[in-house]
Amino acid sequence: MTEPQDFTPAPRKRRPPKFILGGILLVGGILFLIITSLNASAQYFLTVDEVVARSRAGELEGRNIRVSGAVVGDSIHYDIDSLELSFTIAHLPADNQLVAQEGGLAQALYKAVNDPARTRLDVVYNGPVPDLLQNESQAILTGRVLSSGVFEADEILLKCPTKYEGSVPDQVGQEGE
Amino acid sequence: MAAEIGFGALFISLIFAIYGIGAAIYGERTHRKDWVKSAQQAMRLIFPVLTISIGSLLYLLANGHFEVVYVADVTSRSMPLYLKLTALWGGQAGSLLFWSWLLAGFIFAVALRKWDRDQDLLPWVIVVNLATLIFFLILNIFYENPFARYWQDASGIISSFGQPPGALPIYPRDGGGLNPYLRHPGMIIHPPMQYLGFVGFIVPFSYAIATLITRRTDDRWIQITRGWTLWAWLFLSLGLILGARWAYDVLGWGGYWGWDPVENSALMPWLSGTAYLHAVLIHEKRSMFKEWSMVLIVITYLLIIFGTFITRSGLLSSVHSFAESKIGPIFLGFLILTLLGTVLLLNSRWKILRSPHVVQNLFSREALIIISVVLFLGLLVTVFWGVIFPMISELATGQKVTVGPPFYERVAAPIFGGLLTLMAICPLAVWSYVSFKHLGKLLWKPFLVSLLGIVLPLIGGLTRWPALIAFWLVAFGLAVNIFEFIRRIRIRRRTEGEGWWSSFSKVFRRNQRSYSAMIIHVGVVLMALGVIGIEFFQTETQGTLAEGQALRLSSYTMTYEDLDIFDTRDARNVARAVVSVKKDGQKLGELYPRKDFYYESGIPVTIPGVRSTLLDDFYVILVDWKEISSEGATFKIYHNPLVKWLWIGAWVFVVGVVMATWPSGKKGLKALNVGKL
């Protein structure tokens, strides 16, 4: 009986123990790095409501957090002497389904900014004005809440959904082709 | 009319693809070669048909047919023709069509090759490729139709391909215009490169699956797909590099990589693809670790689909994902199905993949390569964990927790260090067995030279030890590769008595693959130098200046000279500052940082003024200004040491990969055709 070697491989030689040990050390080292770094740099991703509530309760002291909200256009101010940018964000639901219920992100942002009942959060940032910082854009900020209740941002990410896909063009006419 | 032709062609492609799969499976099951041949013909037909579809969309884009929703979304009258055409991949529906078209092109090329010796693989290669294509065609036809148009009915404006009852067609006069950020040359070439890289990896994946299904255990599939893999890898690398370059040139934050989820999702297939490229070397040379190469190519394919899904689903907060989309769930479904299918297949073939050999020596080349593969996988797990962590934490605790760049940097830095070390030692190691003594003999000279990488910065006053180690690693990698190359030429000269040049070219051609690898590694080492420069030594400052006032940073002084504000013909308002730059009192010239405001989209784009030398970059951003320019303008400036080496290294890397794909004369071609069976 000779079967093709491909199908019944010869028994494997045993791996020398130093390789098994080396492999464990290598993989363990990488996992150790991942876990320790994760603990050191994880940030809560919160809504404006949560930030305001939890900072009043003193839960966020000294913690690095991320917050998402709608930029209130009138509040944007850049002070060229202190080089400090300040603006206000309004509460925006974090749940995609809630956003969809409000008629999509663009509509949700519009409602957030124009609803005086929404919780608002003042933000300061030391740096240039980001290009997309404008009324009704979505801001995702990384930073911390100062004792004054103002949010100090280190990083600003912005989205303005109305400017891209999905918006109906303004100038719609009924001309022929 | 063009929209109807385009959509019709899309639909016909889908029918051909479905037929192709059916014919291939039927032919394989019944052992009727004519059916498989027929499936192969179908594969060849899809590309021309999809070309008609994409041609129709280009026609609509170029001629401003704003009644088509996609055209109105991404173009406007004021855009130049080349931008109207490249707007093909400026939005979701167009990108997906472009994806499908590129894949059809690859499938076309696969169908053209001679299949005499690999008849058994052919049906399954057809099935895998066409199944992937069908998935994307379905997305295009049923979910993201680039040919849908505007209609008006009582409820308002709706978009649909066919005429809804009671609705009338409407013809907008102008469109919204392409996202200004996507108008930069880097952003015009970046997506096609990325897509070519993604699509290219589908070919080796299809061969791998065919090999598994047919229970073949040889490395024929690797030989056939080596060229495909290298080209895919090249394009994927180019996509990443161009994306980084674009971020540096346009985004105006003085960086090149932000560990953004979408960047990460493009990086992940690159990491697994790179691991795969290394693992197949052992597979080919030593017939070991076959299961590794299989698993790695499967992971790469899954990550490509995952990456497209992440980018397109709006699941993550990122600068890239503009719109939430309805195609998320269908992507997820496809992903899960593929994952299940491949896991089951791998599991049932696991036994025949296992090699009877095991690695016996810690310094053998296979051992070093396997360590580097593990390190690449470590990076991959890190990035993957960082990307999905917000979702996992939300599912587990109801609280979304995210990780930022510090997480990635802390884990990646030591792993990159390990990879740099391996890159330095690897060219010296040989297959199967190397003694430590042998390695030491080859290593001690470059090691001594590389100490300059520590001594010189120390003399220069640098005392941060992580930076010193990083510099040393770079010096070590460069020194080993250069010494080794010279050593081999000298041996050849001594044994053959030839001149330097003839020895050089012969040594090179003899062993093209290994020297290409050395060039690629030198490129990576140079890129590392750029990364070290910007990560460890970047400094910045900002200030508001009146005309004639100056701002200092490092040894540079910039003086604000003038500001012009003007409109351009393509509907931009440009504010352009003139600043003069001095270094150590020496006048160097002028820079023109500016801000372009796009009227259509209401978005400003900041374009920095950069003076780049081998030693450092001086990077100026115009932040703000007063309407009357004499009152002053605000600038932010960055000093980025050594960053130019990132781009130089990238070019060296690209040259290396191109050389690796280059057919190495008759001998090389012949070698490609001789399979070990």
Of A80-89, B346-355, B422-431, the one with minimum mean pLDDT is B422-431
Q: A67 near A121, Cβ under 8 Å?
A: yes
pLDDT band at B252 (very low <50, low <70, confident <90, very high): low
User: CA torsion angle for B518, B520, B525, B528 (degrees, to 10)?
Assistant: -170
B155, B324, B549, best to mutate vs chain A, most A CBs in 10 Å: B324
Q: B307 near B269, Cβ under 8 Å?
A: yes
pLDDT for residue B314 is more than 60: no
pLDDT band at B273 (very low <50, low <70, confident <90, very high): very high
Decide the pairing of beta strands A151-159 and A120-126.
parallel
Highest mean pLDDT among B10-24, B113-127, B225-239: B10-24
Work out the average pLDDT over B355-371: 78
Complex confidence, ipTM: 0.77
Nearest to A126 by CA among B623, B565, B316: B623
- Cα B348 from Cα B214, distance rounded (Å): 12
pLDDT for residue B324 is more than 60: no
pLDDT for residue B367 is more than 90: no
Predicted pLDDT at A96:
67
Work out the average pLDDT over B426-453: 80
The residues, ordered by sequence, that sit 6+ positions from B415 with a Cβ below 8 Å of its Cβ are A30, A33, B375, B378, B379, B382
User: What is this structure's pTM?
Assistant: 0.88
Of the two residues A164 and B524, the one the predictor is more confident about is B524
Predicted pLDDT at A3:
41
How many Cα neighbours within 13 Å face the side chain of B94?
Answer: 28
B182, B317, B573, B638, best to mutate vs chain A, most A CBs in 10 Å: B317
Work out the average pLDDT over B546-553: 88
Q: How far is CA A122 from CA A49, A51, A160, B667, in A?
A: 13, 11, 20, 70
pLDDT > 70 in chain B, percent = 93
- Cα B649 from Cα B581, distance rounded (Å): 27
CA distance B372 to chain A (A): 11
Between positions 9 and 38 of A, the ones with CB within 8 A of B are 9-16, 18-19, 22-23, 26-27, 30, 33-34, 36-38
- Cα B276 from Cα B221, distance rounded (Å): 13
Predicted pLDDT at A147:
86
Q: B172 near B238, Cβ under 8 Å?
A: no
DSSP three-state, residue A88? strand
Between positions 76 and 135 of A, the ones with CB within 8 A of B are 78, 80-81, 83, 94, 96, 99-100, 104-105, 127-129, 131-132, 134
Q: A94 near B390, Cβ under 8 Å?
A: no
pLDDT band at B664 (very low <50, low <70, confident <90, very high): low
Q: How far is CA B236 from CA B73, B166, B170, B192, B249, in A?
A: 28, 48, 41, 10, 20
Kindly determine whether residue B157 and residue A172, on different chains, have CB atoms separated by under 8 Å: yes
Of A6-20, B365-379, B637-651, the one with minimum mean pLDDT is A6-20
Residue B172 at interface with chain A, using a CB cutoff of 8 Å: yes
pLDDT in tens, B180-230: 777 777 778 888 998 999 999 999 999 999 999 998 888 888 888 988 999
pLDDT for residue B618 is more than 70: yes
What is the overall mean pLDDT for chain B?
A: 86
Alpha helices by DSSP H, listed for B63-91, are 69-74, 81-86
pLDDT for residue B149 is more than 50: yes
pLDDT averaged over 10-residue windows placed end to end, chain A, 177 residues = 44 68 88 86 86 85 85 87 88 75 78 89 88 84 89 84 44 36
pLDDT for residue B673 is more than 60: no
- Cα B90 from Cα B107, distance rounded (Å): 24
Nearest to B217 by CA among A3, A2, A20, A19: A3
Question: Of B358, B360, B623, which is closest to A12 when you measure between CB atoms?
Answer: B358
- Cα B411 from Cα B407, distance rounded (Å): 7
pLDDT in tens, B117-148: 888 899 999 999 999 999 999 999 998 899 99
Predicted pLDDT at B297:
95
- Cα B123 from Cα B210, distance rounded (Å): 8
Of A107-116, B356-365, B472-481, the one with minimum mean pLDDT is B356-365
Written as one string, the DSSP assignment of B169-210 is E-EESS-----GGGGSHHHHHHHHHHHHHHHHTHHHHHHHHH
Domain boundaries, chain B: 1-178, 229-412, 413-536+647-676, 539-645
Residues of B in contact with A65 (CB under 8 A): none
pLDDT for residue B524 is more than 70: yes
Q: DSSP assignment, residue B253?
A: S
Q: A91 near A119, Cβ under 8 Å?
A: yes
Q: DSSP assignment, residue A10?
A: P
Residue B426: both structure tokens together: 């690897």
Of the two residues B313 and B430, the one the predictor is more confident about is B430
Of the two residues B629 and B483, the one the predictor is more confident about is B483
The residues, ordered by sequence, that sit 6+ positions from B93 with a Cβ below 8 Å of its Cβ are B70, B140, B144, B145, B146, B148
Between positions 216 and 235 of B, the ones with CB within 8 A of A are 217
User: CA torsion angle for B6, B7, B8, B11 (degrees, to 10)?
Assistant: 130
Question: Of B399, B595, B604, which is closest to A44 when you measure between CB atoms?
Answer: B399
pLDDT in tens, B599-612: 877 778 888 999 99
Residue B621 at interface with chain A, using a CB cutoff of 8 Å: yes
Residue A144 at interface with chain B, using a CB cutoff of 8 Å: no
Residue B216: what are its φ and ψ, rounded to 5°? -80, 145
Residue B595: what are its φ and ψ, rounded to 5°? -130, 120
Predicted pLDDT at A37:
86
Kindly determine whether residue B385 and residue A142, on different chains, have CB atoms separated by under 8 Å: no
Residue A43 at interface with chain B, using a CB cutoff of 8 Å: yes
pLDDT in tens, B155-176: 778 888 888 888 888 888 888 7
Neighbours of B184 (CB within 10 A): 17
- Cα A76 from Cα A85, distance rounded (Å): 7
